[in-house]
Structure 1
Amino acid sequence: MATSFAMRVSSSKIEKIRFNVHTLRMDSLHQIHASALVNVCCQNFCTYSRTLRACVGAAKLSSSACLYGDHKTSLMQAQIKKIISLPDDQPLAQGLPSASQKSVQNPTRLILIDGKAVVYRAYFKIMAKLQHGGHMHDASDDSDWVLTVFTALSTVLKTFELVPSHMGVIFDHPGLTFRHAIYSNYKLNRSPTPDTVVQSLGYIKPALAAMGIRIVEVPGVEADDVIGTLAVNAVKEGAKVRVVSTDKDFFQLISPNIRLLRFVQHGSGMVSFGLEEFHQRFDGLDPSQFVDVLSLAGDRIDNIPGVRGIGEKTAIKLIKAYGSLENLLKERNSVKGKIASNGLQADEGEALLSKRLVTLRTDLPPYIIPLTFKDFLYRPPQDKGEHFLRAIKVMGSFVEGQFVADLERRSKHIWLQYN
């Protein structure tokens, strides 16, 4: 059911912004069924986040029907939920050790995984294989979500090849964020999340938790902001950080101690992307200048407006010449090229707005993210993976092949390493 959610926000300048979000998905099991008009006096982002969290938390939730009506599917889903679901008052990261326990192998290496990006990557990979036949031809018609879950789990297991001491998977919290208050059209051009992805998210989260991995969702902010804050804070504590994602917004975080692990275009591998790779791709710019490039070029995926007539190549040249968006706007009369010059004259406001939208928060306070580097210390689940293994075996009944055996073998090997 579509939900209309209107909110009016007043900033320190008493500027009123009103926006509507027509659909809010909670997860594969719940949807919001409420309409609300909230007046918020927002002196800063923190006040807005607290109010938004209270608003979303107060929304009435109700269970929705299974996305697949097949009776066998419904029974199988019920079995999985019973096996791996956790009580409401129990943390998702079941079996995590206390902060005082000693870590293994690489005592200061943290891997932060963009959960939704991994699930989407798995989904598109499975859809491509199903459309082109291949070894997926034995899968039943409604098993694509199972294959998506298994592929995403396989990706997470692959990151353990780096033998991290700490690990976390970060997901977007359903609902509005502070960027929607800044710009009502933020991500408005996106298509609805595919049902397969929605359903997969409902199972991948408890499955990861059953593996002993910390799962994090924070209301009012995006997973990107949570990852940015956790990464920067971990570096301050002496950690080396690797961020697993396909999102180019993370380029701005790159530093000597923060690298990205990006998926290769074809296959299941990942490549490391750091300062050297960034300098080569962006003509010697510093990662901190990437937000200036995006502010000019815009981003169609997130519906970031940018400046008309300026693409990525031109944006890189302009930022390299002028250093920053602000300096460029001050000197815009000296810019060569009629299209770029006219665009800067006409779209100054859009450029500054775009910079606010694309800049990741790396300074979220502890009351929004009450976790530190030590909270992500990885240890195998206390039940020796019993719940995880039972869950994948139940899901595996819907597909043929060695998917379950492969996941079981690899997960047991990892747990043996960390014992």
Structure 2
Amino acid sequence: MPGLKKRYKTERFFRMTGLAAIVASLGFLAFLMLSISIQGMGAFFKTEIRFEVEQTWIEDAAGDSYSLLRNIMGNSDPTVIGRTAKREYRRLVGADAEEKLRNEIIGQEIATDGPVVIWLPASDDVDVAVKDGLGTTASGVDTGQLSQRQVDWIMGLTAGNRIRTDFNMGFLLNGDSRDAERAGVGGALLGSLFTLIICFVLSFFVGVMAAVYLEEFAPKNKATLFLEVNINNLASVPSIIFGLLGLAIFLNGFGLPRSSSLVGGMVLALMTLPTIIIASRVSLRSIPPSIREAALGLGATRVQTVFHHVVPLALPGMLTGAILGMARALGETAPLLMIGMVAFIADPPSSFTDPATAMPVQIFLWSDSPERAFTEKTAGAIMVLIVFLILMNLAAVLLRKKFEKKW
């Protein structure tokens, strides 16, 4: 039949169109993840240079890590002659080389009478150049601000097996720094965690209670209708408006600490409340009326029916709304900028009221930095943010499965 063949042809066309859309979406996602991984994988590794520290250098330094570093860089290579050459050679190591000397040599008991072997972190220019292949080859490698003399020294150090690449734990533990080799996402990661804890505690409890009241107890009148319309409208309000609201109320009104995770979490809670309320109401509506009727028929009160029977069955759907709201909150930058979480924070926060920053803000700050090393730091921070989002969603899904009940 011509009509039947036409319907089958149309069905195949829509099926192939849908399949092509899925394949294209997966392809774009794979390309995005691959490009971010290629750019950001280097942030998880650091370049180190091996030096042999003579006992006389340690004694001459007299406990001063800066003097010891000058002795090491000035005497390790006899071919480095002249003040200009020594300054360039000194710039091969990073800004935290003194700290490593202080932690591993200064004030420590040395078990050997001979030279002490120590691996000092390379500067950000050397680090990026070595990761790009400098040392194995010098052709086609972007050496950045390295001079030709520094390139020759790196080639010699590589030939002498004095350069290695190790896992960069500091990238995951350190706070922000103006020196790229010191900068890490530890402070921003902790700030995001504190902010999301505040956001979840406030938004989920208030959102679920509001949804329960509106759906189960509120009278159906014009006031309730007006409230429902405004909740739906708030879900589409630009996020920066909530930042302005938090600035006016929490900071200027109540005088809460600026740039703190407490204020950030409260602002994000305001932003996620409409999403959680709407999802919770939909979940409550999906519970069959027979559950309520059976509980009431057995003598349960209205409150007992709602909180002992309806809410536990609707909880998985409520958690789904919380997942959507928290995922949006995790990636928000504009509201946090308005309350001062864009400030330079070097030390990771230890409490909810300490000055802090968040992962999206940290990525925004690093992306605006002109140094080459911050490019891979930015991509690496995006990778950490994606993993953090996946773990958070996984925990929420597991909780949803745990509380899910079937009837």
The TM-score normalised by the length of structure 1 is: 0.19
Larger radius of gyration: 2
> Going by fraction, where is helix more abundant, 1 or 2?
2
The TM-score normalised by the length of structure 2 is: 0.20
> Going by fraction, where is strand more abundant, 1 or 2?
1
